[in-house]
Amino acid sequence: MKDLNDLNQLAIEENNLNIQNEIIENLKDLRNVAKKNEIKCFLSDEADALDCYIEIHAGAGGTESQDWADMLRRMYLKWSDRKKFKSNLISEHKGDEAGIKSSTIKIEGDYVFGWLKKESGIHRLVRISPFDSGARRHTSFASVWIYPVIDENIIIEILDKDLRVDTYRSSGAGGQHVNTTDSAVRITHLPSKIVVQCQNERSQHKNKETCMNMLRARLYDFEIKKKEKQTESLEASKAEIGWGHQIRSYVLQPYRLVKDNRTNYENSSPEKVLDGEIDDFLEKSLYQT
């Protein structure tokens, strides 16, 4: 900044507009660098640098909410692509007519969990329903829960006696083998009642391995929340995916606005937000920490 200021003084004295314009561009670059360093200061928790799992569940409302859950999944996948992160579908329970009832995806990249951890909560959509022949306005809800992918440096003890392992036939794409064998795995951790499932791999062994990794992530998150005395309020908000619990509203009708109820940040281009442009919302939630 000091060097640019000295150079600017010389440019003014010499009335050199080209140098002055170049200084303006350099200032913009400097501001971007400062911004990135500022954000890193808010990504300093133990788990912030880790990859993450995103669990999405449709709320009550059938096809409407199931379609909304699918839209949210697409939003996070688009965001991941914009960041050049890697994403994988872990499990999916398709909706009856459209969308998804639930889904888990994994996103790998620098500080993914730190960026997305504040996305946990209820997301609300208001729009003219494409599934309503009367073209009426509908309100839909879906929940999003973010968990860190635990690395080998964090030890989570899981006892075999605390687990119930179920296998079942996988649904959806994957070829004849996946659809005709019990390759999908569901693991229930009995003490915490946490349930994880995976169906994206051909082999039952690989699905079980993925499930165990997800379970370790969930248990780690569970213990962190308990230490922070947040588990009680979190479970209360999970009890109902509906009115009064939403962290963010996406309104497409009668006006167009996305508003975060925690930071009060607003964006009047919901189509861009749903296309993965959510960095401004993520930054605002980080600064509120």
Burial code of 53-71, b = ≥16 C-beta within 10 A, e = fewer? bbbbbbbebbbbbbbbbbb
CATH code linked to domain 46-289: 3.30.70.1660
- Which residues make beta-bridge pairs with 258? 250, 267
Mind listing the pLDDT tens digit for each residue in 83-119?
Answer: 999 999 999 999 989 999 999 999 999 999 999 999 9
Measure the N-to-C terminal CA separation of the chain; round to a whole number of Å: 29
Domain ranges of the chain: 2-41, 46-289
Mind listing the pLDDT tens digit for each residue in 136-191?
Answer: 899 999 999 999 998 766 778 889 999 999 998 876 554 444 445 678 999 999 99
200 burial type by CB count under 10 A (0-12 exposed, 13-18 middle, 19+ buried)? buried
Distances (CA, A) of 160 to 112, 164, 187, 288: 30, 8, 11, 40
Whether this prediction's pTM lies above 0.95 is answered by: no
Strand (E) positions, the chain? 52-58, 86-94, 100-108, 121-128, 137-148, 163-168, 184-189, 194-198, 246-251, 257-260, 266-267
